Amino acid sequence: MAKFFIVQLKLAHYMKIPPKVMFLIQMPGNLLACMVSFSVQWWTLQSVKNICYPELLPKGSPWTCPWERRSFSLGVTWGVIGPTRMFFPHGTYSIIFIFFIIGLLALVGVWMLSRVYPEKAWIILLNWSVIFSVGTIVLWHYEWWARYNYLLSVGLDSGASILTIFVILFLQSRGIYGPNWWGLELDDHCPLAHCPTAPGVVVEGCPLCRLSLQLTLGQGSLLV
């Protein structure tokens, strides 16, 4: 919630709205939003049959509780499994750490260039995150970006909210959940997604992850 407060205040700053006025507008709006959100959630839990049970819901039903499943997955990843088995040297996704090194070297490179060419003030302003995300628009269409960037952001957010209300009131309330396409299927479309990755675990229909045990004996090695 605090993050959304800051985002709204930043947007108000660019729209020349005084911070005190914006804060006074935010407080009653967010208090009302909390009450409405709680009421809607309570009504939904009491009204929707088989909510949060995708296998019992009709195809394309939106009441699958994706946020709760995401929170559960995060809890398992960081609590049950732990970051050591996920990201550290012998973890499944240890290669991700290479990008931390790349990011550090990129920052050092910008700093060194700014020291070598101090007369070029634009070097110190380089931001690799911006360059890789919206760098093309900022560098080649700066005037358009400066004028319409925040308006575009507000327009996209408002459009998504209005469309959500429209879909719920006029489509989903009448049992219409959308066209029949692969995006409505509650599946990741990967037949091996449910297979274990731990070495030596045997599951029917899944490939076996072999464990290579290297024993160092003096100057030689034995591969089992």
pLDDT digits (tens, 9 = 90+) for 209-218: 654 333 333 4
Q: How confident is the model at residue 171 (pLDDT cuts 50, 70, 90)?
A: confident
For residue range 95-137, list pLDDT tens digits in order: 777 888 888 888 888 888 888 888 888 787 777 766 666 656 6
Q: How confident is the model at residue 187 (pLDDT cuts 50, 70, 90)?
A: low
pLDDT recorded at residue 183: 67
Top-confidence residue, 37 or 94: 37
- Is 94 part of any domain? no
Average pLDDT over residues 84-92: 72
Q: Which residues have CB under 8 Å from 130's CB, separation 6+?
A: 138
Residue 217 pairs with which residues in a beta bridge?
220
- Is 170 part of any domain? no
- Is 181 part of any domain? no
Average pLDDT over residues 192-196: 77
Please give the C-alpha separations between residue 59 and each of 44, 150, 167, 171, in angstroms, as whole numbers. 18, 37, 16, 14
- Is 221 part of any domain? no
Top-confidence residue, 166 or 179: 166
pLDDT recorded at residue 138: 63
Please give the share of the chain, as a percent, with pLDDT higher than 90.
Answer: 1
- Is 127 part of any domain? no
Residue 67 pairs with which residues in a beta bridge?
none
CB 23 within 8 A of CB 159: no
* Chain CA centroid to CA 69, Å: 14
For residue 177, with 0-12 CB atoms within 10 Å meaning exposed, 13-18 middle and 19 or more buried, which class applies?
middle
The dihedral built from the CA positions of residue 165, 168, 171 and 173, taken in this order, carries a sign that is negative
Measured from the Cβ of residue 81, the count of other Cβ atoms closer than 10 Å reads: 13
pLDDT recorded at residue 217: 38
Q: Is the pLDDT of residue 17 over 50?
A: yes
CA–CA dist 63, 72 (Å, integer): 16
Residue ranges making up the domain that contains 28: 1-47
CA–CA dist 64, 185 (Å, integer): 11
- Is 39 part of any domain? yes
How many domains does one find in the chain?
1
Average of per-residue pLDDT values in the chain: 76
Radius of gyration of the CA atoms of the chain, in A: 26
- Is 38 part of any domain? yes
Query: Residue 220 is inside which H or E element, if any?
Result: strand 220-223
Residue 216 phi/psi, 5° resolution? -85, 120
Q: How confident is the model at residue 186 (pLDDT cuts 50, 70, 90)?
A: low
Q: Is the pLDDT of residue 150 over 60?
A: yes
CA–CA dist 210, 132 (Å, integer): 38
- Is 88 part of any domain? no
* Chain CA centroid to CA 212, Å: 35
Q: How confident is the model at residue 169 (pLDDT cuts 50, 70, 90)?
A: confident
Average pLDDT over residues 76-80: 78
Top-confidence residue, 51 or 172: 51
